Structure 1
């Protein structure tokens, strides 16, 4: 392939810009805040799960309190009816004696149910306190996530701003390289993972960093100025400069 030296030198400028674009992409993917953000999102997900469980536990214990209160009230109501009948002397002596015995049983039953209700209420107090703490923690995590997301957005905007500037420079340089040379460059970039053109500096390939042997140097030395030469080791385009050492 033939391409005058000006086009080949432009290729080095283009390579610098493409290398910088790759660096910016890598920088965006590896921002330190991303790791913090990922960890915070994991904690946030767990906090949501814990919060659901805590709210469910409080709802359940609230229903237990309602049930325990209803059980106590039923016994109280029964005892109150019996007390009214006993005070009024309603019923035979045998019935009144049975009611007195039932009153004693109801009193014991009421005491047992009230103990159960008290235990449930104490458990409810603990669960409510736990829920409040988890809600507080959830709020803290929301604030932390918001801060990290803002930090990530700021860093991303800075990278995007520089990328736009680099892409604008690239758009100015690329047309002057020529479709044929640019197509070869793009093909090599795809094969070599980004680096397609490199200068020949002091007989060393700027791509693979290997020093060229005498035969390769002789071949390049004898090549026409507008001949596009490539490194025999890495197959990248080698651009001759004043520092090539030929």
Structure 2
């Protein structure tokens, strides 16, 4: 294959643009914000699950507190009724003994229920504090996630802007090349990552390997418009005054 030396040198400009496009694509795939967002989303889900759990426990305790309060009130009301009956003086001696015994039992029962109720309320207070802390952690994680997403959006905008410029540069370069030369360049680039590189000081600029003497002699003897390729990586070798031929 043959191509004007100036056209071959333009391949270096195309390769430079393509290298920048590759870097931009790599940057898009490996943005630190992606890992941060994934980690923050995972943390946020865990914190939200914890918040749901603690709120469920608070709700369960609220029902238990309400039930316990009703039971305390029931025992208190029964005790008040028994005391009024005692104070009325209208009960027999046997009824009096039974009422006094029942009042003692009710007092013990009320005291035990009130102790249980106090313990429930203390547990609920602790859980409510836990819910507040967890809720604050959820809010913080949500803000961190929003900030990371905002930074990622800014970075993506910057990448997209740079890519649009490089795409325009590439589109402006393509008309310089013949179909055969461009097809070869694209084929090599698809296989090796770099389609063309400068031959500098007898070294391939794509694979960074030295070209052996026989290949160098062949390249040196080839016409200026001959399209030469690296024997190691297959990239198109562009010859200039830096090639050391």
The verdict on a shared fold, with TM-score over 0.5 as the criterion, is yes
- Residues 1-246 of structure 1 aligned to structure 2 (within 5 Å): 1-89=1-89, 92-192=92-192, 194-246=193-245
**Is 121-130 or 39-48 further displaced after alignment?**
39-48
Q: Name structure 2 gaps, 5 residues minimum.
A: none
Tell me, yes or no, if the aligned pair for 1:90 and 1:96 is still in contact at 8 Å. no
Give, in whole Å, the separation in 1 of the partners of 2:94 and 2:190.
104
Give, in whole Å, the separation in 2 of the partners of 1:18 and 1:49.
46
TM-superposed deviation, 1:36: 3.4
TM-superposed deviation, 1:50: 1.5
**Is 173-182 or 108-117 further displaced after alignment?**
173-182
Give, in whole Å, the separation in 2 of the partners of 1:21 and 1:202.
27
TM-superposed deviation, 1:153: 1.4
TM-superposition CA deviations, 1:173-201 (whole Å, max 9, x none):
12321222222112111211x21211111
Give, in whole Å, the separation in 1 of the partners of 2:162 and 2:239.
30
TM-superposed deviation, 1:92: 4.2
Paired residue secondary structure (1:51): helix
Paired residue secondary structure (1:243): helix
TM-superposed deviation, 1:89: 4.4
TM-superposed deviation, 1:15: 0.7
Give, in whole Å, the separation in 2 of the partners of 1:107 and 1:157.
74
Give, in whole Å, the separation in 1 of the partners of 2:225 and 2:106.
111
Q: Name structure 1 gaps, 5 residues minimum.
A: none
TM normalised by structure 2 equals 0.92
TM-superposed deviation, 1:242: 2.2
Paired residue secondary structure (2:185): helix
TM-superposed deviation, 1:102: 0.8
TM-superposition CA deviations, 1:34-73 (whole Å, max 9, x none):
4433333332222112211111121111112112112212
Equivalent pairs counted in the alignment come to 245
TM-superposed deviation, 1:149: 1.7
